[in-house]
Chains A and B, each alone.
Chain A
Amino acid sequence: MSGADLWHLLFGKLSADALPFYSAIAATAAGVVVCGALGAALLITWLGRWRYLWREWFTSLDHKKIGIMYVVLSLVMLARAVVEACMMRMQQAVAFDSAGFLPPDHFAQLFTTHGTIMIFFMAMPFLTGLINFVMPLQIGARDVSFPMMNSVSLGLTTAGAGLMMVSLVLGKFSTGGWSGYPPYTELGFNPGVGPDYWIWAVTLSSLGSTLTGINFAVTIYKRRAPGMTLFRMPLFCWTALCASILMIFAMPPLTVATALLACDRYLGMHFFTNSLGGNMMNFANLFWLFGHPEVYILILPPFGVWSEVIANFSAKYLYGYRSLVYATMAIAVLSFTVWVHHFFTMGQSADVNAAFGIATMLIGIPTGVKIYDWMLTLFRGRVRFTVPMLYALAFLLLFPLGGLTGILLANPAVDYQVHNTLFLVAHFHNMLIPGLLFGMLAGYHYWFPKAFGFRLDEVWGRIAFALWVAGFVLAFMPLYALGLMAMPRRTDAFFEAAYLPYTLVAAFGALLILAALVSLCVQVWVSVRRRRETEVFAGDPWNGRTLEWATSSPPPDYNFAVLPQVEGRDAFWLMKQDGRAYRTPDRYEDIEVPRNSAMGPVVGMAGAAAGFALVWHIGWLAIIGVLTMGGALIARSFVRHTTRTIAADEVRRIEARWRDAVAASPGVTRDDETTPANRGHAAMEVA
């Protein structure tokens, strides 16, 4: 065996060429990743926190901790994707009549990673994290139905995110866009490792999401507290349920599409090639069978957040609860009837386009119902302009604009004119930023005190909010104009002078967004330093209405010492009204909670190894990775002690500490909600 053969056996296609020394920018990015990872590892070692992290976080099966880890993952990925977005906007600002600073190939990698990360590794983990943390508390449960599977989902998602990060250091990522259409991503056009990175990162994360969907749906069906009928659930749980059901049905087409593409690339098959019976159009079909429901997976949980935030900070019952539920269901079903609007121009006949165009427009109706319901909830409420509420108001103003342009695009004749232009980019960012991202940020601000026991700094929250809104408007409104002026999307350079003013404004907007992100970091820093002033251990800083506020902040491992008895909608609010809140139960019982398990991290690491090995054709590592995943699952089924018991005495002690804190905290009125007077015990006011 020659040296080259041996190398190939051990390292596959890896070689020194994989290192990013061909470009200063790529090398810098790789340097940031490597230094960031090393720095984090060193810091943890120096603080001696590995054990703590492993025991308390990575192997934890507590839905609250898993939720928090999801959100942390998504914020890290958000930072990378925003930086990439800024680079693209800078490029388009300077690339008039010149090449700019990014070669076309690099620009293409940027929009591909930006889109892929934003969807799969920012939005999905963020909403999964929020649902994970909040939903079991809201339905009065002690955990999700399958805690171990929850941790495995997190492991798989993190593995995918890890592959995305590794692709910055070793090899080049796909240039095929976040939708990865063949034949461009086929071997013939793209023999490098880029599309393979995309395939395996997306496959890992989609497997994780499928499992998550099953987990959440089962939890909502099976784990509700006594009295919590479906129609007494907080609206966030309804949106979580519908989003989970969408995950269950929408992720498989994606997994099939990427798997078939992998068969083409690895095994010489011809599902999507242009010859030997392949049909690349079926990839578009499969991808958007997933892709459209996906955007509703992304938007429904934020709708739930808006419902909670608006009702809570208006101190009112949600207006039109039932109509909101039915609208959510209608959206969920309709979202499976519209996928063709992503490829109106592929060549099918006008009949097909017309049917799907009309179905698309129909979705505007239930969404419109929701907007009115939220506005009517505000009407005559006791409205407080806290940070989540500010995001909600920005959403109410900006989101319908994006919806309106969506209705325009739903008309195939219009779509023929503006498809593949920046008009589309403006449209979907107008949905995703004010809708999804603001929703996630509102939820983050709203539930942060529940998760960590202290409130986030209001001032920096407002600064970040103002920057997000201004940045969004400046970065994306010009794109509508550019789109109507026919500037194509995914363009790295242009020669039309009329575009320039707009791309300059958009670049400035992107910088404001970067500043908004920095402000969020500063906010965390400031809030942590001042956490004594904003501590809310008593658990109810916003005069909450739903059950998550009926326990301490942070909640104990077991969430509720005694499962709450639900008498109606807005269960905690009713308890406070009838004086049933904070009542000491007659007796406590032992409580079983899931015992830690290394399954999640093990499956995640094995998955990442297998993915990496497949990308670089390292056979032995791929086999080991896959076998480890399967072996771990089998080994786990022999583990008999999967729960740990918290003794009744221990529960009594924990509960007494909390009740004492509640008794010691003065009831705070809504006027003082954001002052240090707020210790997490809300005074009941006459509205």
Chain B
Amino acid sequence: MNRRDDYRRELRAYLTGLGLAVVLSVLAFGAVGLAEGVPGAISRSTVVWTIGLTAAVQVVVHFRYFLHIDLTRSKRDDLQLILFSALIVLLMVAGTLWILGDLRDRMMAVL
């Protein structure tokens, strides 16, 4: 394989990534815009879910196309570290929300 092919493959990957990123962003913003612009068109929870899901896919797209993380063996260390980071951040954020939410509820109950 020559350098030109390499270059074209890289370029295609970046462009695919860019395209997907734009589409996902438009979907999220579009959902909000629709809910704002046309009252009653879609429910609030649909908007929230749309944003959440597109954000999650967006993360994957960035890792896959921009940071070149995939399932090949040579990328395994990186992938493991990313998954581990995700796990720890999830534990911290979810735990914090749970604990402080619980505390708030209990204080409100007293008031």
Please give the residue numbers on chain A whose beta carbons come within 8 Å of chain B beta carbons, in ascending order.
221, 245, 249, 253, 279, 281-282, 285-286, 289, 333, 336-337, 339-340, 346-349, 351-352
The CA of A202 and the CA of B84, in the complex, are separated in Å by 27
A282 touches B100 (CB 8 A): yes
Quick one: which of B67-111 are within 8 Å of A by CB?
77, 84-85, 87-88, 91-92, 95-96, 98-100, 102-103, 106-107
Given A245-B84, A336-B91, A347-B106, A352 and B99 contact (CB-CB distance below 8 Å): yes
Tell me the minimal C-beta distance from B95 to chain A in angstroms. 7
Please give the residue numbers on chain B whose beta carbons come within 8 Å of chain A beta carbons, in ascending order.
77, 84-85, 87-88, 91-92, 95-96, 98-100, 102-103, 106-107
The CA of A272 and the CA of B8, in the complex, are separated in Å by 54
26 interchain pairs, CB-CB under 8 A:
A221-B77, A245-B84, A249-B85, A253-B92, A279-B100, A281-B100, A282-B100, A285-B96, A285-B99, A285-B100, A286-B96, A333-B88, A336-B88, A336-B92, A337-B91, A337-B95, A340-B95, A340-B99, A346-B103, A348-B99, A348-B102, A348-B106, A349-B102, A351-B102, A352-B98, A352-B102
| Chain A residue contacts of B88, Cβ below 8 A | 249, 333, 336
A349 touches B91 (CB 8 A): no
B77 touches A349 (CB 8 A): no
| Chain A residue contacts of B84, Cβ below 8 A | 245
Tell me the minimal C-beta distance from B85 to chain A in angstroms. 7
- The chain B residue with its CB closest to the CB of A289 is B92
The CA of A221 and the CA of B77, in the complex, are separated in Å by 8
Tell me the minimal C-beta distance from B17 to chain A in angstroms. 26
| Most chain B CB inside 10 Å of its own CB: which residue of A281, A289, A348 | A348
| Chain A residue contacts of B102, Cβ below 8 A | 348-349, 351-352
| Chain A residue contacts of B85, Cβ below 8 A | 249
Tell me the minimal C-beta distance from B103 to chain A in angstroms. 5
The CA of A336 and the CA of B87, in the complex, are separated in Å by 10
The CA of A352 and the CA of B99, in the complex, are separated in Å by 7
- The chain A residue with its CB closest to the CB of B110 is A347
**Option from B92, B95, B98, B103 in Cβ contact (under 8 Å) with A347:** B103
Tell me the minimal C-beta distance from B56 to chain A in angstroms. 21
| Chain B residue contacts of A339, Cβ below 8 A | 95
Tell me the minimal C-beta distance from B68 to chain A in angstroms. 17
| Chain B residue contacts of A347, Cβ below 8 A | 103, 106-107
The CA of A336 and the CA of B85, in the complex, are separated in Å by 12
| Chain A residue contacts of B96, Cβ below 8 A | 282, 285-286, 289
| Chain A residue contacts of B103, Cβ below 8 A | 281, 346-348
Tell me the minimal C-beta distance from A368 to chain B in angstroms. 23
The CA of A282 and the CA of B103, in the complex, are separated in Å by 10
| Chain A residue contacts of B98, Cβ below 8 A | 352
- The chain A residue with its CB closest to the CB of B88 is A249
The CA of A282 and the CA of B93, in the complex, are separated in Å by 12
The CA of A281 and the CA of B106, in the complex, are separated in Å by 13
Tell me the minimal C-beta distance from A325 to chain B in angstroms. 14
- The chain A residue with its CB closest to the CB of B107 is A347
The CA of A349 and the CA of B85, in the complex, are separated in Å by 28
Q: Which 3 A-B pairs have the closest CB atoms?
A: A348-B102, A336-B91, A249-B88
The CA of A337 and the CA of B96, in the complex, are separated in Å by 11
Tell me the minimal C-beta distance from B44 to chain A in angstroms. 25
| Chain B residue contacts of A351, Cβ below 8 A | 102
- The chain B residue with its CB closest to the CB of A246 is B88
- The chain B residue with its CB closest to the CB of A333 is B87
Tell me the minimal C-beta distance from B88 to chain A in angstroms. 5
The CA of A336 and the CA of B84, in the complex, are separated in Å by 12
| Chain B residue contacts of A289, Cβ below 8 A | 92, 95-96
Tell me the minimal C-beta distance from A94 to chain B in angstroms. 41
The CA of A249 and the CA of B90, in the complex, are separated in Å by 12
Tell me the minimal C-beta distance from A476 to chain B in angstroms. 31
- The chain A residue with its CB closest to the CB of B90 is A336
The CA of A337 and the CA of B95, in the complex, are separated in Å by 8
Tell me the minimal C-beta distance from A626 to chain B in angstroms. 29
The CA of A486 and the CA of B103, in the complex, are separated in Å by 27
A349 touches B106 (CB 8 A): yes
- The chain A residue with its CB closest to the CB of B98 is A352
Tell me the minimal C-beta distance from A257 to chain B in angstroms. 12
The CA of A347 and the CA of B106, in the complex, are separated in Å by 8
| Chain B residue contacts of A349, Cβ below 8 A | 102, 106
The CA of A347 and the CA of B110, in the complex, are separated in Å by 12
The CA of A528 and the CA of B42, in the complex, are separated in Å by 80
Tell me the minimal C-beta distance from A164 to chain B in angstroms. 28
The CA of A348 and the CA of B107, in the complex, are separated in Å by 9
| Chain B residue contacts of A221, Cβ below 8 A | 77
| Chain B residue contacts of A282, Cβ below 8 A | 96, 100
The CA of A661 and the CA of B91, in the complex, are separated in Å by 54
